[in-house]
Structures are given as C-alpha cells and as structure tokens.
Structure 1
Amino acid sequence: MWFSKLLPREGNFFELFNQHAAYIAEGGHAFLAMIQNYGDPALREKYGGEVDVAERAADKVTAEVQRLLHRTFITPIDGEQIRALINAMDDVIDLLQDTTEVLSLYNVQRIGDDVLRLCEISVRCCDRVQHVTSLLATLRRPEVAAAALKTCEEIDRLESDADRVMRASMSHLFRDEIDTRELIKLKAIYEHLETISDRCQDVANIIEGIILENS
C-alpha cells in the first residue's frame, strides 16, 4: 500500500489530449485554407507548411502521452484506451499532412468543388473531435457524457456525408474526366479526404467506448 502511494498517479493525459486535438483542428483549418486558395502558389505553400507544423507538434504530444503511460501507475481511464485514443487522433493529423503531400507530389493543378466539399466535411469532423476531446476530463457528469455522445453521433453523420459525397464525386470523375492522369490523381485525393473522416469516426468510436465503460 505504501509503495503504491509513491508511484505517479493520474498524469496530465486530458490536457495532452486537448493539446493534440487543438493541433488537429489547426491542421484541418490550414488544410481548408490551402484548398480554398489553391490557385495561388504562395498561399498554397504557406498553408501547406502550417499543416506540416501542426502535424509535427501533434507528434510530440503523442510521444509525450506514450512516455507518460510508461511512468504512470494509475491512469484516469484504462491505459489501452489512452493508447488507442492518442494513436487514432494522430492518424487524423497524419492524413491531413499525407493529403497535403499527395497534392504536391502528384502536381495537382486544379481543385474542383467536389474536393472542396470533402475538405469542408473533413474539417468539420476535426472540429468535432476537438470538441468531444475537451469533454473527456468531466465525463463522469451525466450531462457531459450525454453531450459527448451527441458529438460522437455528429461525427458519425459527417462520416456518412463524406461517403455520399465521395461516391458522387467518383461517379462524376469516371464519367466526365477524359485525362487518365488527372483521373488517377483526383481519385487518390478523394480517397485520402474521405479517409480523414473515417479516422475521426475511429476517435468517436473509442470515446463512445470510454463513456460506456465509465458511466
């Protein structure tokens, strides 16, 4: 008993989750600004760089969570849930950076409304991830748990919206695009953007599990 009292307890996990979620939202909005200003090479590079900065900062938070897990004896929620959540969150910001890099590597020169629509849905998902993450520290309050579950449901609906937009976009692409190279490029971009919302849904699913196990 006396030994356990000497071991680190709790840790600062909720604050780290909040920091990481803020970088997700920051990276998402920078990505959206890049898409909205895609015709301007200077702005495209500027906002693309901001996505990269947010991703590197989020990586540091992920590494700190992993280190803290090894040092903390008693965690506020199950250690495996902490690990799964931070890894799922990291997947979101990684995909934002990956999509930015794919646009550059594929030398995509034009962005249509379908790409912009998918990007807008992805960023809304990122914002919802930031919101639900901010509720983690007070989930034991019934009204907070209910609000968190509602936000998770919003993420699920947004992911379904992204699925529908991608299917429609793919249909238009294969029906109307006559340049095979452009078709291949845009298909990859659509798939990356839709996967961002998938990864946000993964975060929501993990948080739903945390709520159900701790309510």
Structure 2
Amino acid sequence: MPREDRFFDLFAQHSRTVVGAAEALNQLLAGSEIERHCETIVRLENEADEITREVLLAIRRSFITPFDRGDIKDLIQSMDDAIDMMQKTVKTIRLFQQNSFDPGMQEMGAAIVQAAHLIAEAIPLLDRIGSNAPRLTAIAEEVTRVEGHSDDLHDQGLKDLFSRYGASNPMAYIIGSEIYGELEKVVDRFEDVANEISGIVIENV
C-alpha cells in the first residue's frame, strides 16, 4: 500500500517534468536548437503522463491520502494539462516548420517558465498546508498575475502580427496567431493549477 508521502514524491517528479518542458519551450522560442528542444518537450510530456497514471493508481490503492482524493486527481490532471499544452504547441511549430519567433512569443515563453517555477515551489508546501497556507496563497496570486501579463502579451502580439501580415501575408498571420493562442493556453493551464491549489488550501485550513 503506498504511503502518503508517495503522493508528494510523485507530485515533485511531475513538477520537474513541467519545469523542464517550460525551460525547453523558452529556449525553443529563443531560436536555439529548435528540434532538440521539441524532442525534449515530447519526452518529458510522455514521462509526465506516466507519473499521472501512477498518481491515479495510488489514489485507488491508498487507504489514507494526504487530502481529498478528488483534489489529488484534479491537481495532478491540471498539472498534466499544462505540459500537454506545451506538447501541442510543439506539434504546431513542427507542422508549420517555424524556426523564428516574435519577441512577444519569447516573452510568453519567459512567463511560462515563471509560472512553472512558482508551481514547483508550491507543490512541496502542500505537505504542510496549514503552516504554508500564506505562501501557497501568495503563489496562487502570483500565477494569476503572470497569466494576466500573458494575456496582454498575447493581445499585443496579435495586433503586431496583423500590422505586419494582415493584408500582405494572411498565412503568416494565421500561423503566428495559432502559436500565440497555444502559448496563452499553456499559461491558462498554470492558472488552473493555481486555482486547484487555492481550493485545497481553503478546504484544509
């Protein structure tokens, strides 16, 4: 029977895959070794899926869980959704054979790394929710601010794309807007994780 701390080990493992994928995506958007970073993200996404399956299996097998089973499931699945969205972004980049990216996309890559590190900081704090509640709440609020900034970058990026390509090169506009949209969805998924963490804090303090 899995011990309670097994869940936190698995959460930490998953969080490391998410951070690794976020950093690879950021490097990719900087134009550095694009295909190698794409491969890294795909590999880490597969690892994350396996860890998610382990967590779901542990939920079924454990007599005692550190907090509500439904919350554990929702937390790991929201984390997995974030790295899944990174992998979808990679598919789009490969499909359209993109090898250079707008400054706004690069800034969104930095925002994704920031959000990933904030979530990575929060995960081990869930082992002592009561004493760590103030910091967990602050992290969730910071992720929300990152998401708001990302929204602004997304909107400005679309405006810039339209100014450059709207009439002269519609396909470039479509491809660019697709990548901006997927990057924004990555940050949205991190906000979902932050919301799950906030809910766990509320229920357990």
Q: Which residue of 1 aligns with 2:157?
A: 169
**1:9 CA drift (Å):** 5.8
Instruction: Please tell me whether the aligned partners of residues 34 and 99 of structure 2 are also in contact (alpha carbons under 8 angstroms).
Output: no
**1:63 CA drift (Å):** 0.4
Describe how 1:162-201 pairs up with structure 2 within 5 A: 162-177=150-165, 178-201=168-191
Describe how 1:10-49 pairs up with structure 2 within 5 A: 10=4, 12-38=6-32, 43-49=33-39
Describe how 1:8-157 pairs up with structure 2 within 5 A: 10=4, 12-38=6-32, 43-141=33-131, 144-157=132-145
TM-score, scaled relative to structure 2: 0.94
**1:117 CA drift (Å):** 1.0
Unaligned 5+ residue runs, structure 1?
1-6
Change (3 A) 1:8 1:57: closer
Output the aligned Cα RMSD: 1.4
CA offsets 1:68-88 (integer angstroms, 9 cap, x no match)? 111112211000000101110
Distance in 2 (CA, whole Å) between partners of 1:147 and 1:120 is 22
What secondary structure is seen at the aligned counterpart in 1 of 2:51? Answer: helix
Distance in 2 (CA, whole Å) between partners of 1:152 and 1:24 is 17
Distance in 1 (CA, whole Å) between partners of 2:40 and 2:78 is 21
- Matched residues, number: 203
TM-score, scaled relative to structure 1: 0.90
Larger-Rg structure: 1
Unaligned 5+ residue runs, structure 2?
none
What secondary structure is seen at the aligned counterpart in 1 of 2:65? Answer: coil
